[in-house]
Each structure stands twice: as C-alpha cells, then as structure tokens.
Amino acid sequence: MDTNKATNRDLVIGIIGGLFVLYMAHNFDLFEYVVSYVTSHESWEADELFILSVYLTVALSVFSFRRWKEALEEIDKRKALEKDLIIAKNEADTANRTKGKFLADMSHELRTPLNSIIGFSEMLLDEAFGTLDKRQNRYVNNIHKSGNHLLNLINQLLDLSKIESGKVELHLEEFEIDILFEEINEVLDPLAKRKYIDLTYVSDPQIRVVNMDKIKMKQILFNLASNALKFTPEDGSVDIGVQKKGDLMQICITDSGPGIDEQGLKKIFEPFEQLGTNEGSEYKGTGLGLAIVRELVEMQKGHVWAESEPGKGTSFFLELPMNISIDG
C-alpha cells in the first residue's frame, strides 16, 4: 500500500516537472536557441543563458530527485537486512545457549549410569564374581568397549560445546616441553608396544621452557599421537618431532598408516568427520577429537594442519608461539 502511494507521488511529480519544462521550452524557444547556437556559434545574450540554465536546472533536479528516491529505498533495504541479521544472530545465540545447557544436563544424566555400566563390566572382566567362559568374556568386553566409546563421545561433545560457547579459558604456565612429552610417552608407550610400533621423540635443544596452557597442550598432543597409533599397523612407526621456527614452536607427528586422500584432508578437522573410510573400518572414533584439537590450538594463537598421501602415512603439524600472552 505504501509502495503504491510512493509510486503515484513520484509519477505526479515527474508529470508536473515535465510540463514545466515543456512550458519553458515553448514560451522561450529554448530548443531554437540551442539549435541556433550549435549551427552558427553566435554569442548568446545574458537572458538567453539564464533561461537555458533554468531549463538545465529543472532537468537536473528531476534527475537528482529520482536518484535520491532510489538511495532512500536502498537505505531502507539495508536497514531491513541489518534488522533481520540482528534477529538471526539473537536466535542463534539463544539456540547455542540452549544447546550448551542441554548438553551439560544430558551429559550428567548419561555419565552416571554409564560409569556404573563400565565399572560393573570391568569387575566381570576381572572375574570378581566368578570365571567367565569365552563367549561371556566376549560379550562383557563388548559392553565395556561400547560404554567407554559412548562416555568418550559425551565428554568430547561437552568439551566442544564449551569451547564454541567461549566458556573454556586459558591457564598459562611455564613448563619444560621435554617433561610434557615424557608424561605423554608414559601413557602412549604401552599402546605402542601392544602393536609393536616404534614410537620416537626428537627434541630441539633451542626449545626448553615454554609458556602455554599445559593441560590443553597435553590434550592436543595425546589426541594426535593416539590417533597416529590407532591408524598405524603393527610393526609400523610414529615419530614426534619438535623444532624452533623463529618465535614459533613447530610439532610434527608422523605415522606410517594408510594415509588420507585430498578430499579427506579438506574436512578432517570438521566435527563428526571420521578418519575411517567405510562403515566396516576398524578405525572407530567419535569424529570430534580433531575438531577439538583445532579449537584448542587456535585458542593458543596457533595453527594446525595435516599432510598426507594414500599409502604413505600422515603428518600432523602444529605451530604455536612459545610464549603466549592472553592480552597480546
């Protein structure tokens, strides 16, 4: 309705302006003056120049009015778009808060019975209530593995939700990088020996003490290194190297696993993307570990990426400042 009124008003103004120009041109012979000037280049009198300037002024005014109306319409469209964007942002923030609360509540409700399932299955596997035959042992072992897998998924969902909502803070401290890798090696070494994998670590004498979030760095490195062990076949190798790159520390974790194709590398750090290539793959995971790694690395002003070729293993690279400051 308002648009029709505006269109009718513009039409009336245009008609009035056009009639005024025609009236000026008819009574003062403006067109003849123009033709005369073009053909003979005669000198114009002051009143003739004044009339011509009035004619041009009116024409320019009509043109400017239309452009002004178009500009107003464009401004109105932009304001409406900004309003829609603000509404969409507020709705997204509300949905994100609701999601975070849901995950927090559900994780608590699910973890309690899951811990009971895992605990009792461990007692059965330890034969605390009597000896299990081969089939019973296999069933209980499946219950134990499935419970741990589900608990890990819930924990990682909660971690990712906290990170995305900005509820995770950095706790910086100075520590020796070699000691951090010794602590990680204590956990990973039994896993490597179980598959006869050669696990090596090469340090850089130029890097001794760093200022980072030690707990988050341990989570990052454990996730990447345990992934490397999981995807490396028996009698393979996993190499961890650290070197100084200017003011940055670069960590490289290389495995001799099956490798990842180009398409897989593009989406490997996205949530719920599995490294396994098919449903029957032995490499099962939650698909959240690498997404959490990326978020934790970026929180510490770092960068993470992967390089790989099918059949040639995979290398994960981390580059982070050795002395992180929260303000800087």
This model's pTM is above 0.85: no
The domain locations on the chain are 1-168, 173-321
In this predicted structure, the answer to whether residue 4 has a pLDDT above a threshold of 70 is: no
Q: Tell me what percent of the residues of the chain surpass a pLDDT of 90.
A: 25
Whether the predicted pLDDT of 293 surpasses 70: yes
pLDDT of 279 above 50? no
End-to-end CA distance of the chain: 55
> Bigger pLDDT: 32 or 65?
65
Output the pLDDT for position 240.
94
In this predicted structure, what is the pLDDT of residue 221? Answer: 93
Residue 162 has pLDDT above 50, yes or no: yes
Give the integer Cα–Cα distance in Å for 310 and 11. Answer: 69
Quick one: pLDDT band at residue 109, thresholds 50, 70, 90?
confident
Residue 278 clears pLDDT 50, i.e. is over it: no
Identify which has the larger pLDDT, 95 or 60. Answer: 95
Q: How far is the CA of 60 from the CAs of 12, 18, 64, 83, 222, in angstroms?
A: 17, 12, 6, 34, 72
Domain 173-321 has CATH 3.30.565.10: yes
pLDDT surpassing 70 at residue 119 = yes
